[in-house]
Amino acid sequence: MFWIIFIGGVLVYLFFSTKKSEARKVNNQGGLDVKYRVLLQYFMEIPNVKVERKSSTSIILVIKDTHVVTRYTISHGFGDVHVYWDHNSAIFGKHSLSWCFPEDYSQYLMLSTIEHEYDEYQKKLFKK
């Protein structure tokens, strides 16, 4: 039992120390606003979008209307960047998509992939 607790403690310590290291790395690169400038500019151009929450490793953008809430999350992980789209509508229900890219991948190519897959998702949705 001691070894299980010990190993669990070591794993938790390693996780949090690596997470702190990743946060420092992003901060040393100018923070999320600089590191993911292209992605952020793209999403910030969407009408009525606002920053809902921001941390050292993620930012959540939201568009809220009476019957619709759409969130875009950009989250820096361990050498990756994750982009999430979550949509909740009274008419269309709940929908979500997510993407994971290496952190040094071209943000323009990320956006191209995101736009293409989002468009394909919408086409399938409206065919139903």
Number of domains in the chain: 1
In tens, the pLDDT along 53-89 reads 998 889 999 999 989 999 999 998 878 999 999 999 9
**Model's pTM, two decimal places?**
0.77
**Higher pLDDT pick, 74 / 17:** 74
Q: Is 32:58 a contact under the CB 8 Å cutoff?
A: yes
Identify the three-state secondary structure at position 119: helix
Name the phi and psi angles at 29, rounded to 5.
-95, 15
Give the domain range for residue 56.
2-127
Q: Is the pLDDT of residue 31 over 90?
A: no
